[in-house]
Structure 1
Amino acid sequence: MDPELYKATIGGDLLEFVREMERLANDRHQCYLPASCVQLGPQKNTILHLATSYGHHEIVKLVCKDLPHLLAEKDARGDTALHLAARAGDTNLILLLTDSDYAVLALLGATNEEDNTPLHEALIHRHENAATTLIDKNRNMNYSVNHEGKSLMYLAAEAGYVAIISLLMDNPVGNYALDGKHKTKSPVHAAILGRNIARMVLLNFSLSDFYTLKSFVFSKYVLKLLWRKDRSSFYKRCEKGGNPLHCAAYIGFTDGISFLLKKSYILAYLRDRQGLLPIHMAASQGHVDIIQLMVQDRPDSREQLTLQGQNILHIAAKSGKCRALERMLKMPELEKLINEKDADGNTPLHVATIYGHPKVVSSLTWDERVILQLENKDGLTALDIAEEQMKPYMASFQKRLTWMALRVVGAPKAPHSKSATYVNLMLEEQPTTENYRDKVNVILLVATLVATVTFSAGFAMPGGYKNSDPSQGIANMLEKVKFQEFVICDSLAMYSSIAVAVMLLWAQLGDQKSMHVALKLALPLLGIALAMMSIAFTAGVYLVVSKLNWLAHFVLFMGLNFVIVLVLLFLPLCFLGSSNYHRFRFLSYCPFCLMLYALGSYAENEAAE
C-alpha cells in the first residue's frame, strides 16, 4: 500500500485521506502505479480494514459509499471489516458497514479462518450491544458453529447474556444443528464454565471488567432460561462424559448445584467416563460447600463410591486437599467414612500415604477416630507403605515427610509383616551401601569444616591477649561471663566435630550395618557441634559490641532465635521416632511442621482450594 495513503488512513484526517486517494487515482491514470498498491497492505489489509481498525467513522462511511466492493474483501486472517468492527464492539461502525441490504447478506455470514462470523467475534469478545445489533440485522440468518464447535447459543451462555439467549431462542437465528464431532458443546455447560472463567478473572484482577461481572452474576439466570426453553440440553455430556452437575461440582458453582439438584436430581447419580459422580468431582477439587449441599439434599450421596470403591474422603486424600479434608472430618455425616476401605483395602490414610501428601497424613493421624493399625489387602499398614516407598534414590522428599508424619504419631507396622522394605534393601544392597557412603562423606565434610573453624577461633580470642608480664598471653576478657561461654561452646563444638569425624572414618572401614550405626550416633553429635559453634559466635560478637547496649542485645536475641530454629530443624534428623506419650509426640510434631512450612509443603495445594 502506498505509504502516504497508509498514513492518511490510520491518521483519520478525512481531507488528507481524500487528497491521497485523488493523487493515487491520477497516478494510476498515468500508469505510474498498479491498482493493487492502492488497496492492499502487508497483511492484505484494505483501506477499509485500516479505517475500521482505528475507528475512523468518517473514512469508513466514505469508503462504503464510493468503494462498496471493499466490504467483502478479507485480510490474511480471513476477516472482513465487519469482523474487525464486531471484535472491537463498535456498534456505530457495524451500522455503517451494514447500511445496505447487499452488505447484510454478504457480510453477516462471512467466516474467517477460525470459522467465526462477525456475530461469533462479538460474543467471543463479550460485546453484548454489538451482538444484539448484528442479530437485529437479520433474525432469520442461519449461523453455523465455528471450528471449535461453539454455536451462538454456546457463546452467549458462556458470556451470561440472558437477553441474547432469549433472542436466539425466540428467532430462527438461534437454530443450529451440531454434528457428531461437536455434539458435546452444550449451552448448559457453557453457562457453567463461563461462570468459572468470570470467577477466575475477578479473583486475579478487579471488578472493573463489567462483562466479567455480568457473566459471574447471570450464570444462574441463564440456566433457568435454558431449563424453560430446552431441558434436553441438561442431559448432554461433555467431552469427558460428564453432565452439567459434574461441571458445576468441579468448579464449585454452588448456585448451579442447588438449581440442578432441584430440577433433576438424577444428575447426581450419573457417572462420567472415569466412573466418577458429581460429588466425587467436588471432593477432588476440595469444594466442601458443594459436598455439604449435596449431602443435605441427597443424603445417600455420601455413600457413593467410585469404580475403585473409594469414597469422597479417599478422593480428597488422593488429591491432597488438606483443608477440605479437615473440614470434612468435622462433618458428623461423614464420620463412618473415615476408616472405610476401598477395593484394595486402603483407607483414606493409606491413600494419602501412597500419593505422598504429608499434611493430609498428618491431619488424619491426629484425628483420634482414625485407626492407624488397619491393614489393606496386602497386609500393610500406612507405615508399612511409607517405608516401602523409602527406597534408596527413589523416595522424594514428600515421601520422606509422609513417613515422618506417621512416625511422630506412633503409627504401627503390621505385626505379622516384616515389611517389604527389608527384602528390597537386601536385594539392592550395593546401591544402598553407596547411598550410605555418600551420606557419610557429606557429614564428614561438614564435621571437618566445623573442627577447622572452631580450632581457628580458639586462637583468635575476642579482645585479644595481654602483652605485659606477669599475665602475658592471657586473654584480656578472661573474667567476662560471655567470654567463658565462648570458650566452653567453642571447645565443645570442636571436640564434638572431631568425634564425628573419627566415628565416620571408622564407619567407612566397616560394613553397611556399621555405617548405619555410625550415622545414627554422628548426627546428634554434629547437631551439638553446630549449635555450640552458633552460641560461641553469638557470645564472641556480644563481647566486642557490648559497649553499645541495643546492638549487643539485638545480637543476643538474633543468635538465640537462630539456635532454637537450628535445633528444631535438626531434631527430626536425629531423634524422630514414635512414642505413646502425647507430650513426646507433640515435641516431635513441632519440628515436623516447621519443616513442612519451611519447604512449602505446609500450604500444599491450598492455592487450589
Structure 2
Amino acid sequence: MYPVEINVQENLTSRNDDQNVLMDRFLYEYVKEDNIVTFKSCVQKHSPDKLVTPSGNSLLHVAVSYGSDKIAAYLAEEFPSLITSRNDQEDTILHVAAREGRLSNTIKTLVGSNPSLVRLENRKGNIPLHDAVIRGNKEAVAWLVCKDPGAAFYNNNTQKSPLYLAVESGHKNGILDDLLNIEASSGALQKGKSPVHAAIEQRNKDILEKIGKAKPELLGFKDEGLGNSLHYASSMGYLDGARFLLQKFPDGANERDQEGNYPIHLACKNDSVDLVKELMKVFPYPKEFLNAKGQNILHVAAENGQGKVVRHILKQDQKLIEPLLNGIDEDGNTPLHLATQSGQSNAAFALVRDTRVERSIVNNANKTPYDIAEEQSKIAVNQYEKTDEMLAEERKQFDSKNNTPADGTQDKAVDPKKQDKKKPSKDYKLLDYYGAMTTLSILHFHARPKKSLQQPFSSSQGKPPRKEETKSRIENLLVVAVLVAGVTFSGAIQLPQLKNISNSNEHHHDFNITSTVFHNNTAFDSPTGSSLLDGYLCLDVWALNTSVVAAIILLWTNLNDVKFAPFVVWFSSLMVGGAIYMMCLAFFFAVSIALGGSDYGVLAIIIIVVGVVFFLAQTLLYIQWILPPSVNQILEGMLSYYVYFLSFLFLFYSWRWLPDKLSELKRGRTSNERNSG
C-alpha cells in the first residue's frame, strides 16, 4: 500500500443524514472479522464512503476499532476521504485507534502522510493523545508523543492537557513518565489547568517530586482562579506539599492570586495552623503580607472564624504580632471588626479577651466592633422572622439597587467603569442567627460601652406580631387549653370512684397501686389526707375552669376586631400558663396523698425534693406569663446576653478548647519522649 496524502483542512467530512445510509450487519461482520475477500465482493454493491453505523462511524472507523488491518488498508487506499471522516462525536480514525490501543502499521503510515491528524479535536476538544491517556494506552501515548511532543500540553474543552489527565489518573501504566520525559518545553502550556494542581488535589507527593525533577518550571504555573501551586496547597491545607513547594518554589509565597491573597492568607482562611507555622518559619515577617484589601493574616483568620489560627497568632512574639493586632484594612476594620461583622464568635472571643486588642477603634463608617455586633444581630433577627418568599424579594431589591441582576449577569450596555463604581462592597447574604447573637453577647460582656441602667427601659422593644403570626398563636393556645381542660376533667371524675374504693374492702385487687395505697393506709380518712385531697380538688377545678375560660376567649377573638388579638393572646397565655402551673401543683398533691402512709420513705423524700425543686422553677418561669409583653421583651433583651454567652462558653470549652488542649498535651508528650530517647 502506498502512502495516501490528502488535504486534511479542505477535506474534513462528517456525517450527513441526507446522504449517508446505515450499513447492514453482514458488512459490519465482514469488517469485524477482517474478511477482505468477502468484504470486497460485498462492498462493490454499495458506496463505502456513504455507509455509517448508527453512531456515525464509517467503515474505516469500524475497521480500525477491531484492528482489521487488511480492510483498513484497502479502504484508505481506495477511499481516501474516509481518512478524515468523523462520527457523531467528531472522532477521527486516530481517535479510535488511540482509544482502542490499535496503532497498526496502516494507521502509523496514514498519520505519517497526514500529520495534522494528531491535532484534530473531537466534540469534547480531545485530540487523540487525550483519549490514549484517558484509556491508559501506554504504547499509543508513547508513539503519539514522539510524533508531536507539544501535544502533551494541548488543552481540551475542560482546559485539561494530556499531562494533567496523566497526573489526575494517578500515574497509571507509567504514562506520566513518558509525558514528563519529552523534550518539548512546557512553555506551550500557557493556560488551562496545571498538572501540579492535580497532584496537590490528590495529595500525591511522589508525583510532585517527579514533576519538580523533570519539569521544575511547571511548579510556578498559575492556574486560572486557583493561583500558583503554593496557593492551592495552602488553600487545601496540604502540609507536605507546601513544604516541598517552599523548598523548590519559594518565590510562590510572595505572589498574590486573583483575589489578591498570598498563600499564608489562604492557610489562615483554611484553619491550617501547622501550615501557618511552616510559612512563618520561612517568612518571619507577617506584617509585610497584606492582601488586596489591606488585610493581614489576623484579619483573614478572624473574618473566616478560624479560632485556632487566631489563638496561634496571638501566642507569637509580641514584636512580631503587635502590628497585626489592631491593624486596619482599607475599610478601617480591625480583626475584631471583621470577626464581629461575620458573626465569628470563636475568633471574636479569642480577640476580645486579649488585653492588647483595642476594642473601641472605629472604622471608616465610624462604628466600633460593638456597634457592628448590634447592627448584625438586628439584621439576623429580621431575616430570621421573614419567610423564604420575603427573603427572595429582599434579595431582588438588593440586586436592583446595585444594578446587578439577580442571575449574576451584567448588562452589556453598561459602561464597565461605571459598573465598577456601582458594584456593592459586599454581596447580599443571610446571616448566621446564632453566630450573630453569641458574638453580640461576647462583646456585651467584654467590649460594651458604658450605658445607663435606664436605657433598656427607655428604648422601644420589638414590634407587634403580624396577623398570620397572631393567628397561629391563637390556634396553638386553643389546642393547649382544650388539652388541659380534658386532662383536668378526667382527673376530677376519677376521684369519687377512688374514695368509694377506699371505704370498701372488696375488689381492691382490680385497681392500680395508687388505689391500693389509698385503701391500705386510709389516706382519705386521715386529717392530713383529707387536706391534701381538698387541695388537689381545688387546684384541679381551678385549672379546668381557667383553661375553659381561656379557650372561650380565644374563640371569641374570631368574632371581634383583630386589633384586640395581641392583648387576647397575652391574656389567654397567662390563663393557660396558670392552668398548666396548677396542674403541676395538683399532681404534687396527688403524689403526696399516694405516699402519705407508705413504707417507701426514701422514695417519698426523693419525690418531694424533686417536686419542690421543680415547683420553684415553675414559679420563676410563670412570672414571665404574668408580666405584660413589653416588660417581657425588655427582660428578654437583658437576659438573652447571659443565655447566649453561657451556651457559647459551654460549647467552646467542651467542643473546641478541650480537644485543642488534649492535642497540645499529646504533642508535648511525644516531643518529650523523643528528647528523652
TM-score, structure 2 normalization: 0.58
Percent of aligned pairs sharing the same letter = 23
1:275 aligns with 2:269: no
Q: Which of 39, 52, 55 is 1:43 aligned to?
A: 55
Alignment partner, residue 74 of structure 1: 86
Displacement after TM superposition at 1:102 (Å): 4.9
> Which amino acid is the alignment partner of residue 260 of structure 1?
L
Q: Which of 15, 19, 25 is 1:4 aligned to?
A: 25
Change beyond 3 A, Cα 1:414–1:368: closer
Q: Which of 111, 120, 132 is 2:121 aligned to?
A: 111
Q: Which string of whole-angstrom CA distances, capped at 9 and with x for unpartnered residues, describes residues 498-553 of structure 1? A: 889989x99986899x99xx98x99999899889999999x99xxxxxxxxxxxxx
| Partners of 1:183 and 1:247 in 2: CA distance | 18
| Partners of 1:501 and 1:589 in 2: CA distance | 43
Change beyond 3 A, Cα 1:252–1:141: closer
1:226 aligns with 2:215: yes
SS in structure 2 at match of 1:100: helix
Alignment partner, residue 411 of structure 1: 445
Q: Which of 343, 348, 360 is 1:374 aligned to?
A: 360
Displacement after TM superposition at 1:405 (Å): 0.7
SS in structure 2 at match of 1:411: helix
> Which amino acid is the alignment partner of residue 395 of structure 1?
Q
Displacement after TM superposition at 1:398 (Å): 4.2
Could you tell me whether the CA contact under 8 Å between 2:286 and 2:296 is conserved in 1? no
Q: Which of 194, 197, 201 is 2:198 aligned to?
A: 194
Q: Which string of whole-angstrom CA distances, capped at 9 and with x for unpartnered residues, describes residues 128-161 of structure 1? A: 5542243245669898654566555565566676
Could you tell me whether the CA contact under 8 Å between 1:157 and 1:191 is conserved in 2? yes
| Partners of 1:500 and 1:328 in 2: CA distance | 60
Q: Which string of whole-angstrom CA distances, capped at 9 and with x for unpartnered residues, describes residues 169-225 of structure 1? A: 7655x25765xxx7344xxx71331124435xxxxxxxxxxxxxxx66312321233
Change beyond 3 A, Cα 1:401–1:392: closer
Displacement after TM superposition at 1:281 (Å): 2.0
Change beyond 3 A, Cα 1:120–1:371: same
| Partners of 1:481 and 1:382 in 2: CA distance | 65
Alignment partner, residue 395 of structure 1: 383
- Which residues in structure 2 correspond to 1:145-224 (within 5 Å)? 146=156, 174-175=184-185, 178=188, 183-185=190-192, 190-199=194-203, 217-224=206-213
| Partners of 1:192 and 1:498 in 2: CA distance | 76
SS in structure 2 at match of 1:275: coil
Change beyond 3 A, Cα 1:288–1:224: farther
Change beyond 3 A, Cα 1:272–1:36: closer
Alignment partner, residue 242 of structure 1: 227
Worse-superposed segment, 76-85 or 463-472 = 463-472
SS in structure 1 at match of 2:215: helix
Displacement after TM superposition at 1:300 (Å): 0.9
Displacement after TM superposition at 1:455 (Å): 1.1
Alignment partner, residue 95 of structure 2: 83
Alignment partner, residue 134 of structure 1: 144
| Partners of 2:195 and 2:25 in 1: CA distance | 48
Change beyond 3 A, Cα 1:374–1:533: farther
Could you tell me whether the CA contact under 8 Å between 1:8 and 1:20 is conserved in 2? no
Alignment partner, residue 447 of structure 1: 477
SS in structure 2 at match of 1:246: helix
| Partners of 1:121 and 1:491 in 2: CA distance | 84
Displacement after TM superposition at 1:351 (Å): 1.5
Alignment partner, residue 390 of structure 2: none
Displacement after TM superposition at 1:45 (Å): 0.7
Alignment partner, residue 603 of structure 1: none
| Partners of 1:305 and 1:262 in 2: CA distance | 23
Displacement after TM superposition at 1:309 (Å): 2.9
| Partners of 1:259 and 1:63 in 2: CA distance | 53
SS in structure 1 at match of 2:436: helix
Alignment partner, residue 206 of structure 1: none
Change beyond 3 A, Cα 1:274–1:405: same
SS in structure 2 at match of 1:279: helix
Displacement after TM superposition at 1:493 (Å): 11
Q: Which has the higher contact order (CA 8 A, sep 6+)?
A: 1
| Partners of 1:190 and 1:443 in 2: CA distance | 59
| Partners of 1:372 and 1:143 in 2: CA distance | 53
Could you tell me whether the CA contact under 8 Å between 2:270 and 2:306 is conserved in 1? yes
Could you tell me whether the CA contact under 8 Å between 2:180 and 2:215 is conserved in 1? no
Displacement after TM superposition at 1:451 (Å): 1.4
1:459 aligns with 2:469: no
SS in structure 1 at match of 2:202: helix
Alignment partner, residue 596 of structure 2: none
Could you tell me whether the CA contact under 8 Å between 1:497 and 1:529 is conserved in 2? no
| Partners of 1:313 and 1:496 in 2: CA distance | 58
Q: Which string of whole-angstrom CA distances, capped at 9 and with x for unpartnered residues, describes residues 432-460 of structure 1? A: 74546665554443333211211112223
| Partners of 1:175 and 1:132 in 2: CA distance | 17
| Partners of 1:75 and 1:486 in 2: CA distance | 90
Change beyond 3 A, Cα 1:489–1:339: farther
Change beyond 3 A, Cα 1:96–1:576: farther
Could you tell me whether the CA contact under 8 Å between 1:82 and 1:97 is conserved in 2? no
Displacement after TM superposition at 1:306 (Å): 2.2
Alignment partner, residue 123 of structure 1: 133
Q: Which string of whole-angstrom CA distances, capped at 9 and with x for unpartnered residues, describes residues 562-604 of structure 1? A: x9xxx9xx999985756999xx87744479889x99xxxxxxx
Displacement after TM superposition at 1:65 (Å): 3.5
> Which amino acid is the alignment partner of residue 406 of structure 1?
T
| Partners of 1:2 and 1:399 in 2: CA distance | 64
Displacement after TM superposition at 1:258 (Å): 2.2
Displacement after TM superposition at 1:295 (Å): 0.9
Q: Which of 347, 356, 364 is 2:334 aligned to?
A: 347
1:301 aligns with 2:286: yes
Q: Which string of whole-angstrom CA distances, capped at 9 and with x for unpartnered residues, describes residues 338-358 of structure 1? A: 555434443334313322445
- Which residues in structure 2 correspond to 1:3-42 (within 5 Å)? 3-5=24-26, 8=29, 14=33, 21=39, 24-25=42-43, 28=45, 34-36=47-49, 39-42=51-54
| Partners of 2:292 and 2:187 in 1: CA distance | 35
| Partners of 2:147 and 2:155 in 1: CA distance | 19
Unaligned runs of 5+ in 1: 200-214, 541-555, 598-609
| Partners of 1:528 and 1:303 in 2: CA distance | 65
Displacement after TM superposition at 1:481 (Å): 10
| Partners of 1:532 and 1:363 in 2: CA distance | 46
Aligned length: 511
Could you tell me whether the CA contact under 8 Å between 2:60 and 2:75 is conserved in 1? no
Could you tell me whether the CA contact under 8 Å between 1:305 and 1:312 is conserved in 2? yes
| Partners of 2:26 and 2:585 in 1: CA distance | 79
Could you tell me whether the CA contact under 8 Å between 1:122 and 1:128 is conserved in 2? yes
Displacement after TM superposition at 1:388 (Å): 1.5
